[in-house]
Copies of this chain bind each other. A is one copy, B any other.
Amino acid sequence: MLQRTSTPIRVGDVVVGGNAPITVQSMTKTDTRDVEATVAQIERLTRAGCEIVRSAVPDMEAANALASIRARISIPIIADIHFDHRLALASIDAGVDGLRLNPGNIRRRTHLQKVVAMAKERQIPIRVGVNGGSMPADYRAGELEPERMVALAMEQIGMLEDMDFGLIKVSLKSSDVLTTIEAYRLIADRIPYPLHLGVTEAGPPSTGGIRNALGIGILLHMGIGDTIRVSISGDPLLEVDNGREILRSLGLAQSGPQLISCPTCGRTTLDVPGLATRLSEYLRDIRIPLRIAVMGCTVNGPGECRSADIGIAGGVDKVMMYRGGTFLRSIPTEQAFEALTQEIASLAAAGSNHVE
């Protein structure tokens, strides 16, 4: 991986681009005017590892609510604006840390100038985002979709640059994975700005996770991308979980616990899926790097357990438990979860004893 290096910007106290770690974003799905619900959702996302959040601003009441929301959360918040420049001005007034706004959607140049002047004064970045599905059908008709998306993005970026504004972040999302990859690849060498990656309108958790892992993951593996947002029709917590897993799997994030568990087969003597799912929830609150293996049998079990901090491998009526890579003891199968969580808790209390 040869990382593309962008000109860093700041979103609140979070640096995006340059050599900063790649960040995970999400978007609230509550009614932004409902401050309580929105704050509660942001807190839940923050605990899961969300580092920047965005909220839709469909009207003035939503813009004004952002002040109360921002006062109660601990991560930067970005206002998502379409068409109405007054919502952008009100959101900046409310203290947001960034705007998601396409200059081309603001009809009058004087209105755009007001927004840009205020954003510059407060040093607030603006994300220009082209969404493949929303491009005018006749825009550069006949050209390929990724080229059309890049051309439209360059026009929008140009409008901000013409006003001497450079706190820009760019996204080029399509609901098609290959189009998304190609669009980002094309623009990567043409602009110095940080890139916000995502595959949009990616469907429910089943397909949304896969499409985003592919689009975001292939680009990150090429060295392209500074911040990511997984898009899923469902609980935004899944967006954050998937985003963090993408970064962790590609070695781009501080690793917390990593759960290794086998797919099971006709040899399995243990309820691996049940145990793995319960453990996965339990591990949410563990912050140290730990490698946990839950294996169904003795074919691959002992091997994986030896390279894990804590591991179990199913046997007949009992499981073999490993700690620090060596066999510890056999325990009855029905005590596996309790035994595992006890060991994990004691390692977590003692700090990391990571085996690598």
Which residues of chain A have a CB within 8 Å of any CB of chain B?
27-33, 38, 54-58, 62, 80, 82, 131, 133-135, 137, 175-178, 181, 200-204, 206-211, 213-215, 217-218, 221, 231-236, 238-239, 241-242, 245-246, 249-251, 259-268, 272-273, 276-277, 280, 293-295, 299-300, 303-304, 306-307
Since A178-B249, A201-B293 are in contact, a sample of 19 more A-B pairs with Cβ atoms closer than 8 Å, ordered by chain A residue number, is A58-B266, A58-B267, A134-B299, A134-B303, A135-B303, A175-B260, A175-B304, A202-B263, A204-B277, A204-B280, A206-B238, A210-B210, A210-B213, A210-B249, A231-B262, A231-B263, A233-B261, A233-B263, A233-B273
Number of chain copies forming the complex: 2
Which of B213, B263, B268 sits near A217, CB closer than 8 Å? Answer: B213
- By DSSP majority rule, is chain A's interface helix, strand, loop, or mixed? mixed
| Residue among A210, A232, A293, A307 with max Cβ neighbours from chain B (10 Å) | A210
Q: Are B31 and A207 in contact (CB under 8 A)?
A: no
Interface pairs A-B: 5 shortest CB-CB: A56-B266, A134-B303, A213-B213, A133-B304, A32-B266
A304 with B210: in contact, given A62-B266, A175-B260, A218-B217 (CB under 8 Å)?
Answer: no
Asked if residues B260 and A203 are in contact (CB atoms below 8 Å), the reply is yes
- By a CB distance below 8 angstroms, the chain B residues around A259 are 203-204, 207
Sample of 10 A–B contacts (CB below 8 Å): A29-B266, A56-B267, A178-B251, A201-B260, A201-B263, A204-B259, A209-B213, A213-B213, A214-B249, A234-B263
How near does chain B come to A254, taking the closest CB pair, in angstroms?
A: 16
Residues of chain B with a CB closer than 8 A to A28's CB: 265-266
Report the nearest B residue to A207, measured CB to CB.
B245
Q: Which residues on the B side are within 8 Å of A263 (C-beta)?
A: 27, 29, 200-202, 208, 231-234, 236, 239
Residues of B within 8 A of A57 (CB): 266
Bound-state CA distance A93–B130 (Å) is: 59
The contact of A265 among B29, B135, B201, by CB within 8 Å, is B29
Do B62 and A246 touch (CB < 8 A)? no
| Beta-carbon contact of B266 and A31 below 8 Å | yes
* B-chain residues with CB within 8 Å of residue A206 when the two chains form the complex: 209, 238, 241-242, 245, 280
